[in-house]
Amino acid sequence: MRNSFTGLVDYPTALQLVLACAGKRSDQAENVPLSHSNGRIAAQDVLAVSDRPVADISAMDGYAFAHSAMAAAPAGLRVVGQKVAGDMPSVLKMGEAQGILTGARIPPGADCVMAGERMQLDPQTECVRPLHALAEQGANIRRKGEEFTRGTCLIRRGQALDWRHIALLASQNVQQVAVVRPLRIAVVANGAELAADAPDARADSNTPMLAALLASAGAEVETHVVSSDDADQLRAVLCSAWEHSDMLVTTGGISVGDTDNVLDVLKELGAGVLFRGVKIRPGKPLSILEQDGKLAFCLPGNPGASAVCALVFLLPYLRSVMGDAHAPVLISGTVDFELVPACDTTHFVPVFCQSDGLGWRISLLPTVGASDIIVLTRANALLRVDPHAPVIAGQTRWVLPLHIN
């Protein structure tokens, strides 16, 4: 058989080799409007330009006054107007209280705020006093800078931005954010069965799958389908795709069959083999080639194998290159099944996690193996089973959720 799998590497070695190639891209930044920054990776630290709150402000709708003055005035203090958020305050004189709404600045001279419903306003005298007990000095005042002060690091470089960071940056009037330029990835499927007029035509599900997965991880993806087993046609597409992108992802044509041309064509184009085949299931044929710092991830054609390789190799590589500082969040639960992995092989098993009230219960799903596409929609996580670490019912194990997090 051509290009047989003679030097398979194990999973940890393969991942290490891949990540060692991940030169950081976080220096390649572009500015985008804040409203377009959702899901992007921050390319720089962002520091606060002002304190939050910017001044002492009221936490309640009510009255602001000097605590000592109120304590010494049984009939209360005369109310002079009301300030709302957005107003500048006026100085409070001796014997005065001021109506104040939540968020408005505390007037100089006041050191206490009480909620309106805890106070009584005498319409005759226009004086206000506590209905019951006087609040403590300083009550209901949000202090200038109590949340953060100017210069505080709000966002660290490498942070994947989402709605929370957008709110924080908007609160500082940030209009533009420096984010990491997306990686341009060319995804190339190949195989004669992908031609619509093939005698036994098959639909291409891998390029839409990979395009969606990679795009949701922040890449800019273009897809190509070489619907033949012709090496020259494949060479032409791979050559141009590689030239016009930051990295290449192929799917199919990487095993040992007579029409599996991807490895030879990439070698002819000058690429060197980082590794050929990994001791994983599914996904054994995964091969990675490199040329001038650009990688070609050659994924197997079987959809389940292609998906697993993308999840456990491609996405970690992408995160590392994009400078995403955060590892995906795994969840732990109790397994309710047994599984003995094949010797020397790391298995990636689709599982279903459901809450049993106390934690997650992890169940195995029936699957027909590497070609299985429906199981990925029934599963919600992937369980890694290393050789010599069989799954025993009742164990606590960590799983990788299948939606990107």
Q: Which residues pair with 179 in a beta bridge?
A: 30, 42
Binding to ligand MOO (CB under 6 A) within 19-78 occurs at: none
| Residue 350 binding ligand LQZAQKY5, by CB under 6 A | no
Among 370, 382, 399, 402, binds ligand MOO (CB under 6 A): 370
Based on CB atoms, which residue is closest to ligand LQZAQKY5, 300 or 341? 300
CB atoms within 10 A of CB 12: 10
Binding to ligand MOO (CB under 6 A) within 276-305 occurs at: 281-285, 300, 302, 305
- Taking the C-alpha atoms of residue 114 and residue 324, their distance in angstroms, rounded to an integer, is 46
Span interacting with ligand LQZAQKY5, options 241-249, 280-288, 312-320, 353-361, rule CB under 6 A: 280-288
- Residues 147-166, one symbol each (x = binds ligand MOO by CB under 6 A, - = not), give --------------------
- Taking the C-alpha atoms of residue 270 and residue 302, their distance in angstroms, rounded to an integer, is 26
- Taking the C-alpha atoms of residue 65 and residue 82, their distance in angstroms, rounded to an integer, is 12
Q: Which residues pair with 188 in a beta bridge?
A: 224, 250
Span interacting with ligand LQZAQKY5, options 167-175, 235-243, 282-290, 377-385, rule CB under 6 A: 282-290
Which among 45, 41, 31, 44 has a CA at the least distance from the CA of 322? 41
User: What are residue 166's phi and psi, to 5 degrees?
Assistant: -65, -40
- Residues 352-391, one symbol each (x = binds ligand LQZAQKY5 by CB under 6 A, - = not), give ------------------x---------------------
Contact 9, 277 (CB under 8 A): yes
Based on CB atoms, which residue is closest to ligand LQZAQKY5, 4 or 405? 4
| Residue 253 binding ligand LQZAQKY5, by CB under 6 A | yes
Which among 194, 186, 189, 197 has a CA at the least distance from the CA of 247? 186
**Could you tell me the CA-to-CA distances from 74 to 98, 127, 273, 325, 361 in Å, in that order?**
17, 10, 87, 59, 64
Nearest distance in Å: CB 285, ligand LQZAQKY5: 5
| Residue 191 binding ligand LQZAQKY5, by CB under 6 A | yes
Based on CB atoms, which residue is closest to ligand LQZAQKY5, 111 or 204? 204
List the structure tokens of 237. Answer: 């597409």
- Taking the C-alpha atoms of residue 1 and residue 24, their distance in angstroms, rounded to an integer, is 38
- Residues 112-151, one symbol each (x = binds ligand MOO by CB under 6 A, - = not), give ----------------------------------------
Looking at the chain, how many residues does it have?
405
Please report which residue ranges of 172-302 form alpha helices under DSSP H: 206-216, 231-243, 262-268
Based on CB atoms, which residue is closest to ligand LQZAQKY5, 99 or 304? 304
Which among 249, 211, 202, 175 has a CA at the least distance from the CA of 371? 202
Using CB under 6 A, list all residues that contact ligand MOO: 281-285, 300, 302, 305, 370
Interface residues toward ligand LQZAQKY5, by CB under 6 A: 1, 5, 189, 191, 193-194, 202, 204-207, 251-257, 260, 282, 284-285, 300-303, 305, 370
